[in-house]
Structure 1
């Protein structure tokens, strides 16, 4: 990039979608720029279709041939991205009379790394591909077994785990892992039984085992197979990402990531949001910690301290729903699960998708096109390997939309089906926008809208309305508290993790790659109240155990999406005429809610998030607000405060033993100065 352009960029505002930011070139021909955007729209749509189709063919039929074809298309797409970036950067966007054209030019440049040289541009993409392949190929041995011995039988893991306390009795009574599993019949083509992957085997163990030594083993083993192999590659990735960002006029790669939110005070804004939800999280944390002390004892969980990360039912301690059996407020009342009712009524995967489509059309939204039913993969196909993670696909041609999901007849998959169909509805609503605007208003919007719609599907009034929940023998208050606890373990417990991932990433981009693992655990302790179960060093690189970090996917959008989904849901409930507790609202068949959803979705990314929020709230605010989330969980928070009334600490104390697990030198220094230690570490965080 020319020195004059860099000098000009140095004086521009830091946020990419401001109208006068990308004065990146000297071409002031407005008609030529408009023609370029028309050509770009046509060519980008075609490129998007080819890349998306190649990716679809690979994930629905995993073969080496399909993988090669996908990589070929991705390589062509990278070349197209780089060429388009160079053309867009040649224009003086401020001279365009159309604000939408200025916005489109900004979007072409905003998140791209095309300012790198061809060699470095190829290198950073290759690094990301290598890191993803290392992550996806990580496998460990079963607990208590050594690498392959043909005389030792393999074990298999059940495909369905019971959801009630009764299902955990084998662990509690025998204290032996997998005693109730059937022996695995050895496949001679795959003689090595050390083939447990994160999904499904490792995740199932973390979710359902209550043997601490087993949990520790799988937690540690997966990190041993990922972090050390990824660390050096990630360090080089940071260097290249920062170089690309600086070349484009940003301070660093974190600054470039944040620019998509069009908020000059973005970091302060998200921290303010987090501080507003922290008291609710602390109440939940304190209650859950007491239950874990009862299960594992004070030698494993200190009654006033942080929680060891391997005990929360999830590889990253981000979702605690799997330990519901340990923390259920009213065990004698049911935890809502209509799977048995679905099976009894003869539900099929196809019927589940038809039910989800009817949920949206009942509000006046669009039915899916015929291509959806012809092209989607709604069940696991026989005789071929597929990638089963549920996802919605837009093939960029305004016709073809699909869902990939290995659907089973369960309540969880019913919720997932409604969620993915909400993404399809979003695609349909903004289909007439230019290619650059066929996305959410900011990176958080797609997930927020999909989750907001499914909040209505989760609850008892809706399940009763569609004939899937008929149990009226239990106290409604107890059932409601169990439901809210389950939701809090999924949503509230997730917030500090979703907040801190990019806090860590931005600090690495800003301050460098020294002490990356120590920073990770410092933030885990500060925001989540979570510590590693065993000592960690800089050789471990535990952030590498999170796929979004090594695959170059920003994460703060999930924090904001979780906040925003309740804000959107609250507005949908208001226009639908709901009164009463927010968690009991059902927007099914509300045409007014459908109209508001359509207003949110139709603009796509052609309007800023602040404009859409202002319109959604009828002018009351233009900012993402956690007030609706707090109100949704208020009945549970009041209950938690009563349960925690005898606790000396709401939150957690940390001491040098906690810090020594990931920063031994620092901890030992503080150990020599008890007064300083007390001031700095013996505090309740937050």
Structure 2
């Protein structure tokens, strides 16, 4: 929940199979002419179609990326309108390109062309059906939901607080009444999204069926060089390997929480109370290490948050430290535009999306991060994670347009998490 990747090629996943894609005019987002006479169902026709498509996507992607960036860093009704328009146009183009790519399903083509055709067909995160108005409705819903979530506030102890505030408080609190109020308070922000979310699922499932999939989930599971059923079986296999360790860890953490808070707060059986693990989504438990560490030999030799504070770190210095790690590996420093254009701290004068993300705006070297950085151990890790995306984006920037993305989304995430270790 904390981190997001936004690449010009991956945002063709929000808006294209390969990038933040659209343009400032309706004409600019039309797909390459795909008449059978121009791109016949032959190997040569497929190669010509891919060449024209990549050139078009490269041409229009930067405009869409900049619109996405402006909305994320300056949320107003106007920027929401612009983003919804861009995303609708991009989704329509993406679906059109996927349909054209399917014309070459039975044509013998080179491995590179086949890979690119598959990316066009499988890279749509939320497909809209081809009926009139569907892409517009889907885009408006997505922008509205994201803006609602990003600007949400709730009352806590007589004051309105943001998600960023709540994250810091729940990480540090050891009072179960406080953690419960924070966890439940934030979830008062989401009910207005419920109707929109259900409608989003309906539209996307309809779009997935138009593309030949049972639903959106089947489309997503098809994107890993195996069938949807094979991917589900593989995740089940991997979970079976991890499950015994997770159950032991869960049992141990539950016992430590029970010892601290007692049966009335955390029973010694059943689920762990979600608000007690120091994270607003219960996805990471590191913030309660002091509570659950073994009695002997388990205490960490340092508190990273305190060390950062004692050393006078601010958010920018944290990012500089992250950059220093990557340059120590022999990678080139971040471009000056990174420092000029990134959102490293939360602005005081406007609403923004604080959810941490890494951006590749122009498919060349306009790489950025968007964070509302706190000086603490969690965001120190997040900085290194997001910069991992940026340095990976730069590494594949010379690839053909449809290959300017990670090997898959999991690999992109794994780079940053590995560095964070």
Write the distance in 2 (CA, Å) between the matches of 1:348 and 1:238: 41
Q: Offset of 1:79 from its aligned partner? A: 3.5
Write the distance in 1 (CA, Å) between the matches of 2:67 and 2:184: 36
Kindly tell me: are residues 399 and 285 of structure 1, through their superposed partners in 2, closer, same or farther at Cα, counting changes over 3 Å? closer
What is the match of residue 295 of structure 1? Answer: 260
What is the match of residue 172 of structure 2? Answer: 208
The 5 Å alignment of 1:395-410 reads 395-410=361-376
Equivalent of residue 43 in structure 1, options 48, 56, 75: 56
Kindly tell me: are residues 41 and 253 of structure 1, through their superposed partners in 2, closer, same or farther at Cα, counting changes over 3 Å? same
Unaligned ranges ≥5, structure 1: 1-24, 144-153, 156-194, 456-686
Q: Deviations over 1:540-581 (max 9, x none)?
A: xxxxxxxxxxxxxxxxxxxxxxxxxxxxxxxxxxxxxxxxxx
Kindly tell me: are residues 57 and 221 of structure 1, through their superposed partners in 2, closer, same or farther at Cα, counting changes over 3 Å? closer
Kindly tell me: are residues 440 and 131 of structure 1, through their superposed partners in 2, closer, same or farther at Cα, counting changes over 3 Å? same
Q: What SS does the aligned partner of 1:307 have?
A: coil
1:390–1:404 contact (8 Å) kept in structure 2: yes
What is the match of residue 61 of structure 1? Answer: 74
Q: Deviations over 1:586-626 (max 9, x none)?
A: xxxxxxxxxxxxxxxxxxxxxxxxxxxxxxxxxxxxxxxxx
Q: Which has the larger radius of gyration?
A: 1
1:116–1:243 contact (8 Å) kept in structure 2: no
Write the distance in 2 (CA, Å) between the matches of 1:209 and 1:408: 16
Quick check: 1:95 aligned with 2:107? Answer: yes
Q: Which has the higher contact order (CA 8 A, sep 6+)?
A: 2
Q: Offset of 1:245 from its aligned partner? A: 2.0
Q: What SS does the aligned partner of 1:388 have?
A: coil
What is the match of residue 88 of structure 2? Answer: 75
Q: What SS does the aligned partner of 2:222 have?
A: helix
Q: Deviations over 1:419-460 (max 9, x none)?
A: 2221111011111112221111122011101111222xxxxx
1:94–1:102 contact (8 Å) kept in structure 2: no
Q: Offset of 1:41 from its aligned partner? A: 1.4
Kindly tell me: are residues 359 and 82 of structure 1, through their superposed partners in 2, closer, same or farther at Cα, counting changes over 3 Å? same
Kindly tell me: are residues 201 and 418 of structure 1, through their superposed partners in 2, closer, same or farther at Cα, counting changes over 3 Å? closer
Q: Offset of 1:130 from its aligned partner? A: 3.8
Q: Deviations over 1:151-187 (max 9, x none)?
A: xxx45xxxxxxxxxxxxxxxxxxxxxxxxxxxxxxxx
Write the distance in 1 (CA, Å) between the matches of 2:344 and 2:199: 39
The 5 Å alignment of 1:229-244 reads 229-244=192-207
Equivalent of residue 142 in structure 1, options 148, 153, 156: 156
2:88–2:138 contact (8 Å) kept in structure 1: no
1:124–1:240 contact (8 Å) kept in structure 2: yes
What is the match of residue 116 of structure 1? Answer: 130
Quick check: 1:431 aligned with 2:397? Answer: yes
1:85–1:114 contact (8 Å) kept in structure 2: no
Write the distance in 2 (CA, Å) between the matches of 1:384 and 1:121: 29
Write the distance in 2 (CA, Å) between the matches of 1:234 and 1:384: 25
What is the match of residue 421 of structure 1? Answer: 387
TM normalised by structure 2 equals 0.78
Q: Offset of 1:270 from its aligned partner? A: 0.8
What is the match of residue 117 of structure 2? Answer: 105
Write the distance in 1 (CA, Å) between the matches of 2:262 and 2:325: 46
Equivalent of residue 369 in structure 1, options 335, 354, 357: 335
Q: What SS does the aligned partner of 1:403 have?
A: strand
Write the distance in 2 (CA, Å) between the matches of 1:382 and 1:224: 24
Q: Offset of 1:288 from its aligned partner? A: 1.5
Kindly tell me: are residues 137 and 421 of structure 1, through their superposed partners in 2, closer, same or farther at Cα, counting changes over 3 Å? closer
- Count how many residue pairs are aligned between Structure 1 and Structure 2: 380
Unaligned ranges ≥5, structure 2: 1-35
What is the match of residue 128 of structure 1? Answer: 142
1:203–1:315 contact (8 Å) kept in structure 2: yes
What is the match of residue 273 of structure 1? Answer: 238
Please provide the CA RMSD for this pair. Answer: 3.1
Q: Offset of 1:381 from its aligned partner? A: 4.9
What is the match of residue 290 of structure 2? Answer: 325
Write the distance in 2 (CA, Å) between the matches of 1:231 and 1:375: 34
Q: Offset of 1:407 from its aligned partner? A: 4.1
Quick check: 1:308 aligned with 2:273? Answer: yes
